[in-house]
Amino acid sequence: MKIKGMLFILFAACVGHIGAMEHDKKAGQKPQGMQQGTNVPSLTQQALIAAAKKLVQEIHSENPQDIKKYITGKTNLPTDLHVPLLVEIGRQYYIKHGIELNIKVPWGFSIQDYLTIPALKSKIQIRTVSGKIALDLSNMKINNLQGLKKIPNIGTLQILSLENNPLTTIQPNAFAGLTNLDVLFLENNQLTIIPTNAFAGLTNLDYLYLDHNQLTTISTNAFAGLTKLKYLYIGNNRLTAQAQKAIKKALPGVKIDF
């Protein structure tokens, strides 16, 4: 089936969704999937996932760029569906094949996704490595740490690897509860800022790797609570001399590699 045939799936999903909206209107209910301030209907998340899954079945030999061009160039497909659909296609292709689809649209998974999507669950496994309790979440397209604290036995963890992911931010207290953690790898992400209390609760952390990101800003008290930190690797970022000076002041006695 060529791309034109694939898009029939989308139109069928759209028509089905619009029909459901009309039914809701007649029943006096608020239509689902209607974006506020517009009359353009959008697919529910369930319908979007279903449409993306069906498309993924047909793109084994198709050029991903052709799919993007066809979808974005289809004038009778609501524009509010273009990016969400491409994002979901990227996600579903990765779930099915374990390969990143080059669609030039940022996409990824939360840790919560890995805990709830059946095809991804097996990738979350705590192991013992050289006598240390470790969890490797590197190279997994993780762009959101939501769900981290729900991982079974996460409090026993001593090594956590999150490198080589598309993380752009760390929420305050994201690692709270990981009191046994010795080593945290966050290098080769897309972090631009470290917020206040980003590492709160990591009272036993010895090594912190933040190198090869896009850091420009380190908030006041970003490293608060790291009372046992020995080494900070934060080179290959975009930190000014003033920012580097502030980090040194905040972490006296810590060996820092800029």
Question: Tens of pLDDT along 93-109?
Answer: 899 988 887 777 899 99
Residue 7 CA, distance from chain mean position: 27
pTM of the model: 0.80
Is there a contact between 103 and 90 (Cβ–Cβ < 8 Å)? Answer: yes
Single-letter code of the amino acid located at 109: F
Q: How far apart are CA 220 and CA 205, in angstroms?
A: 19
Please report the pLDDT score of residue 8 as a whole number.
43
Gap between the Cα atoms of 132 and 181, Å rounded = 10
Long-range contacts of 38-42 (CB under 8 A, 24+ apart): 38/80, 40/78, 40/79, 40/80, 41/14, 41/17, 41/78, 42/78, 42/80, 42/81, 42/84
What percent of the chain stands above pLDDT 70?
A: 75
Residue pLDDT, tens place only, 134-173: 999 999 999 999 999 999 999 999 999 999 999 999 999 9
Phi, psi of 124, deg, nearest 5: -95, 95
Q: Which stretches of the chain drop beneath a pLDDT of 50?
A: 1-41, 61, 74-75
Beta carbons of 202 and 181 less than 8 angstroms apart: yes
Contact 196, 171 (CB under 8 A): no
Q: Which two tokens stand for residue 159?
A: 């090594």
| Of 142, 148, 154, nearest in space to 191 by CA | 142
Closest of 147, 142, 148 to residue 169, by C-alpha: 142
- Give the pLDDT of residue 248: 96
